[in-house]
Amino acid sequence: MSDIPAPLAALLARHSLGGKHLGEPGPDDAALRLMAQAALRAPDHAGLAPFRFKVVRGEARARMAAIFEQAALAAGKDAAEAQIDAERALRPPVTVAVLARIDMGHTVVPAHEQWAAVGGAITNFLNAAHLLGFAGKMLSGHKVRQPAIQAAFCGAGETLVGWISLGTPVRTPSPGHAKAGVDEVLGEWRGPAP
């Protein structure tokens, strides 16, 4: 296919870009609302919207950095390592915490379908950010399992999935790490083996 439609070409150009490569401005309220609208268009059996986004910006960034630093110290990191965790929290202009609300007892929609909806919502959120001229990256790691951090972000029945760092790209994204090729992820199913 030689004539790729412009919207698809834009999606094919999306790359993750970490906080140290993000600058001001970050997305404003209108842009964040569009990203959330895109997230709500993800496949979602029964329309459960099993995800929530909490925006961290302005002075709240310093409060998040302090929580990250304290959690790092509680996890056994030394003061220098804990300070690095705090500094990383301050880099992106906007950080969005991603929370899942999985109804384990839903009679129609099993948990794995709800988790798929969370993943689709994250993807649509990041794609919308890219199409609006921002860059970002989804991060998780050990922090999502720290009780103090979970308590700071989660309400009852919520699971902290991670954070999306957002801002204006200050450098052109590199191709990044090698990913699977199309032929590795796309194949024909011809029925069960005889």
Among 55-59, 73-77, 138-142, 188-192, which range has the highest average pLDDT? 55-59
| Correct CATH for 16-57+92-171 of 3.40.109.10, 1.10.3720.10, 3.40.50.1000, 3.30.360.10 | 3.40.109.10
Length of the chain in terms of residues written? 194
- Closest Cα partner for 129 from 93, 162, 91? 93
Break the chain into its structural domains and give their ranges.
16-57+92-171
Per residue in 105-147, pLDDT (tens digit) is 999 999 999 999 999 999 999 999 999 999 999 999 888 999 9
Residues 6+ apart with CB under 8 A from 74: 146, 148
Alpha carbon of 141 to those of 34, 129, 132, 144: distances in Å? Answer: 27, 22, 27, 6
Bridge-based pairing of strands 51-56 and 22-23 is unpaired
First to last CA, the chain: 34
Among 7-11, 141-145, 159-163, 169-173, which range has the highest average pLDDT? 159-163
Per residue in 68-116, pLDDT (tens digit) is 999 999 989 999 999 998 999 999 999 999 999 999 999 999 999 999 9
Alpha carbon of 180 to those of 31, 40, 58, 177, 183: distances in Å? Answer: 31, 28, 38, 10, 8
What Rg do the C-alpha atoms of the chain give, in angstroms? 19
